[in-house]
Amino acid sequence: MSNNWWEIGILCDPSLEELIFARLEKFGCQGTAVEIKNQSCLVKAYIPQKSAHLLDLAALALWVKQDAYCFAQGSPDQIVQPMVQWHLMDEEDWSTNWKKHWQPKEVGDTMIIYPAWIEPPDDEKRLILKLDPGVAFGTGEHATTQLCLESLEMRLSDVETENLKIVDIGCGSGILAIAAAKFGVKQVYGVDNDPLAAKASCENRDLNDIDEQILMIKEGSIETLAEMTQGKVDGIICNILAEVIIDLIPQITELAKPTTWGIFSGILLDQAKGVTDVLEAHGWTVGLLWKQEDWCCLNVRRQ
């Protein structure tokens, strides 16, 4: 049994993807992959057989459907209910199966994300971000990550970056912090309260040959960042859930200078007003709202 893994497949509406990721992470899954099939999203995740019995998987299927029901605000006809299936595979299969679906992806005008197991060609013209997400969120496939990367490109590609100080709150796989460092920022700080995510960020920093003095990563939250930065910062990136962003805005504001800008995502379109209202109440102005699918990214600055 110790060498067997459950592969869990969830066919769902794309708008449910973030909720399903959160549910799978809470369930204890390791490694995820996403495929877009017509107008649906197929999420695959993996968990050791010894960690989940059939009754646990049945409960997971129920929780996923309950999450979808709550997301639709009690009106099940507003959204197609997700379909959950699972089967066993051996350890060798699980460690490579999810990777075959993930290929290099161009983002914005200048970047390309390469999985760690694919060697970029020598003549690649785009800015290369190498990534092995492990169990962390942030492969570049999700709309919120793409929106944040495009926002970073807009902020950093044509300005003097060397003296900037930027923080990434909830850094996940580290992809956004790594992008900032690749654009030339010499002081980048990332935190995540998940120790596995912090570990993945450090490994991806090394994979991209970025010095740890340029990109510092620790397990923790904003309190940890305040200790790391020892002062105010020029840019703030935060790609987490809207409810968490709202709770953190007062502390985030404490890190800001009068000239600080911010990039906030992980926000569904119908949550944008709630986040905007709290930001404005704390002295921020929303300059741009970019959207992709059902998600949006707020590009903000101090008033």
CA distances from 194 to 15, 172, 190, 219, 242 (A): 24, 8, 12, 7, 18
Is a pLDDT exceeding 50 seen at residue 127? yes
**pLDDT above 70 as % of the chain:** 90
**pLDDT above 90 as % of the chain:** 53
Instruction: Sketch out the chain's domains with CATH numbers.
Output: 4-100 (3.30.70.260), 102-302 (3.40.50.150)
Find residue 7's DSSP bridge partners: 46, 87
What's the pLDDT at 250? 97
What does the pLDDT look like over 160-207, one tens digit per residue? 998 999 999 999 889 999 999 999 999 999 999 888 789 989 999 999
State the pLDDT confidence band at 100, using cuts at 50, 70 and 90: low
What's the pLDDT at 79? 66
Is a pLDDT exceeding 90 seen at residue 274? yes
The pTM is what? 0.73
CA distances from 252 to 1, 5, 42, 211, 285 (A): 46, 40, 34, 26, 14
Amino acid at 260: T
The three-point CA angle 24-73-293 to 5° equals 65
What's the pLDDT at 225? 93
Residue range 113-134: mean pLDDT, rounded: 89
What does the pLDDT look like over 203-248, one tens digit per residue? 999 999 999 999 999 999 999 999 999 999 999 999 988 889 999 9
What's the pLDDT at 2? 52
Is a pLDDT exceeding 90 seen at residue 102? no
What's the pLDDT at 96? 62
What does the pLDDT look like over 5-30, one tens digit per residue? 888 999 988 888 888 988 998 898 87
Is a pLDDT exceeding 70 seen at residue 255? yes
State the pLDDT confidence band at 137, using cuts at 50, 70 and 90: low
Among candidate residues 215, 216, 222, 229, the one with its CA nearest the CA of residue 193: 222
Mean pLDDT, all residues of the chain: 88
Residue range 136-157: mean pLDDT, rounded: 85
Among candidate residues 13, 20, 10, the one with its CA nearest the CA of residue 42: 10
